[in-house]
Amino acid sequence: MNITRIASGIFIAIAVIALLILGKNFILPLIIAVLIWFLIKEIRKVLSKIPFVGSKIPKWVLSVLATFMLFVISGLMIGMVVENIESLSENIDIYQSNFDIINLKFEKDYNINFSESFSTYLGDYDFSTIFNSLLNSITDLFSRTFIIGFYVLFLFFEENVFRTKLQYLYPEVTKFNDVSVTLDRISFAISRYISLKTLVSLITGVSSFIALIVIGVDTPAFWAFLIFILSFIPVVGALIAVLFPATIALFQFGDLTHFFTVLGIIGFIQLIVGNVIEPKIMGNSLNVSSLVVILSLSFWGMIWGITGMVLSVPITVIMIILFAQFPTTRSLAIILSDKGDV
């Protein structure tokens, strides 16, 4: 193989990684905006199928309506989550007290000191600091809502003129039709994956919310929202989604009964959704190798942190869909896919 070609490939890879790291504040909101844009297109498609709506209301009005619905729902969720986190912060002293009681019990019965273990691995910890840090992180993420909405708006503006630009770019009818079909196929596949994965995550979040209310865990809306977000992270996401509400139940009630109750019920929900509901709804949409999922999780997590982990699989699925459409990159799509069928 040509040494120059290998060296060029390594240089390009390093340059791309550096660009992803340095351009995080610009690239991340843009990627989220693109994913939201695809989701809004799916909502618009559903609205257009409603009798006397699709044929009567213009496409741009449906887009505005779909966008409004999505952002109103998101706004309500954001407000509820922030309120829940503030409520958690107010109960810190109770959680700290219950944790100390549990710690003393385990030290007496099993000679296990959680406080010393946490200090060993995490250094000096403080529940108040942890929750305030969590609140600041989520607030920082939500502060990007405006710029994300701005990007989504201009993506819809661009959608209206993109076909015209494409016609000028490919004046030959045959070539224009080929490119149009390829782009439509890519758009359909990505929209389908994003919408179905969001639906599956929503089912998981809502089911967990109901379960947490019945058990009586504090701030169930926040934990349900966290479970909804973590459902986009493969393997690790389900585990963390179970441990977080179970741990807060332990600190809230100060006994292991509620800990194992939450662990069992939320774990059961994750099991049913992940192994029964998701395969039926998603079908072959998640056509990604298990090894590639883990590597993708590590790579995007290393570059963009938690947000990168949440976006890791959607980004990888989109890459496979894109690579599969072109002969020069089809081999990469086959390598990244689950069974080679792209």
Asked if residue 63 belongs to a domain, the reply is: yes
Q: How confident is the model at residue 273 (pLDDT cuts 50, 70, 90)?
A: confident
Asked if residue 13 belongs to a domain, the reply is: yes
The answer to whether the beta carbons of residues 313 and 293 sit under 8 Å apart is yes
Q: How confident is the model at residue 250 (pLDDT cuts 50, 70, 90)?
A: confident
* pLDDT over threshold 50, residue 122: no
Asked if residue 48 belongs to a domain, the reply is: yes
Asked if residue 86 belongs to a domain, the reply is: yes
Asked if residue 156 belongs to a domain, the reply is: yes
The answer to whether the beta carbons of residues 95 and 252 sit under 8 Å apart is yes
Task: List phi, psi (to 5°) of 53.
Answer: -110, -55
Q: How confident is the model at residue 265 (pLDDT cuts 50, 70, 90)?
A: very high
Q: Print burial letters for 64-101: b (CB count within 10 Å at least 16), e (below 16).
A: bbbbeebbeeeeebbeebeebbeebeebbeebeebbee
Domain ranges, residue 128: 1-95+122-169
Asked if residue 221 belongs to a domain, the reply is: no
Please give the pLDDT value at position 208: 92
**Number of structural domains found in the chain:** 1
**How many helical (H) and strand (E) elements, i.e. helices and strands, does the chain have?**
14, 0
DSSP letter for each residue of 273-289: IIIIIHHHHHTTS----
Asked if residue 53 belongs to a domain, the reply is: yes
The answer to whether the beta carbons of residues 237 and 255 sit under 8 Å apart is no
SS3 329: coil
User: Could you read off the pLDDT of 128-169 as tens digits, one per residue?
Assistant: 555 555 556 566 666 677 788 788 888 888 877 888 888 888
Asked if residue 212 belongs to a domain, the reply is: no
Tell me the one-letter amino acid at 103. Answer: N
